[in-house]
Structure 1
Amino acid sequence: MTVLSFRAMQESDLDAVLAVEFAAFSHPWTRGIFLDCIKSGHECWMGFCGLQQVGHGVVSAAAGESHLLNITIKPESQGNGYGYALLEHLMGRARARDAEVTFLEVRESNRSAAALYERFGFNEIGRRRNYYPAVGGREDALVMAYSLIE
């Protein structure tokens, strides 16, 4: 079992968050997107193994639903169970906000992330054509859902 500690993301964390985000993705979120999420009161969290930041995630929740907007583990820390532990924490935060279901989109090409979500219990429920920007064009998103009702 991978043990991570978590703390709420703050504006002062954004340089560290962006370093991980830019290392992990070809089309990373911007400072402004993270700042908007913090200011909007979304569940914005950072995960740590000891004192080492290994990732971050953002969940919005309203009207009985939540949406996993971002989950990122830095490339050199992937494959150690941190993504699963962070996802588990974020789903707990969504439950605490009375969400009954969580939705997400994942790049069709991101098979490791889709496999993580499937292992956790998410199911593919649809597809959004040309949803993501990609090198040389656009890429489809798989739409997945997870029931938070136990």
Structure 2
Amino acid sequence: MIRIRDAGQDDVASILACARDSDAAWSERAWRDAIEAGYTVHLMCDEDMPCGAAVVMHCLDDAELLEVIVDARRRGEGLGRRLMEHALGTAKERGAARMLLEVRESNLAARALYLSLGFEQTGLRKHYYPLGTGREHAVMMEKRT
């Protein structure tokens, strides 16, 4: 059974295990800092086995999705959608009027998911993400909650 709960420092190793085959570049320190800073870190588990995580920073009436990962072995099962729906619902409960995010221009699956959830493209940060031999644009998106 899939459950989503707030993560704590004791969950960081599980989150890193989830992200091991992911394009996510967050380090252990980054995850720990997010939790310590009071960001909302959602941990998705299936029968107590971590399978995804998301980090949302709240600022006034905005929520910003900073990171979302789904275990590579579990992609295509709708877990990313469930995690995003949960993050959006939680952000709304906590007073956010909108959620902001940025996504690699080449991440077509994530962009399609965000569009299907009602996000709209609001801009482009050119040459934002580093690549092995250059840089990639970040697509800026937002959704009213």
TM-based fold match above 0.5: yes
| Structure 1 match to 2:29 | 32
Deviations 1:92-139 (A, max 9, x none): 111122010011000001000000101111011100011111121211
C-alpha distance in 2, partners of 1:66/1:132?
A: 21
| Structure 2 match to 1:7 | 5
| Structure 2 match to 1:129 | 126
Root-mean-square deviation (CA), in Å? Answer: 1.2
Gaps of 5+ in 2: none
Structure 2 matches for 1:102-121, cutoff 5 A? 102-121=99-118
What SS does structure 2 have at the residue aligned with 1:23?
A: coil
TM-score (norm 2): 0.95
Contact 1:55–1:74 (CA under 8 A) maintained in structure 2: yes
What SS does structure 2 have at the residue aligned with 1:33?
A: helix
| Structure 2 match to 1:101 | 98
How far did 1:20 drift? 1.8
Match of 1:60 among 40, 57, 61: 57
How far did 1:146 drift? 0.5
Contact 1:4–1:85 (CA under 8 A) maintained in structure 2: no
C-alpha distance in 2, partners of 1:41/1:133?
A: 27
Q: Percent identity?
A: 32
| Structure 2 match to 1:19 | 17
Structure 2 matches for 1:61-80, cutoff 5 A? 61-80=58-77
Runs of 4+ residues over 6 Å off in structure 1: none
Contact 1:62–1:97 (CA under 8 A) maintained in structure 2: no
C-alpha distance in 2, partners of 1:9/1:61?
A: 16
Match of 1:49, as an amino acid?
D
Gaps of 5+ in 1: none
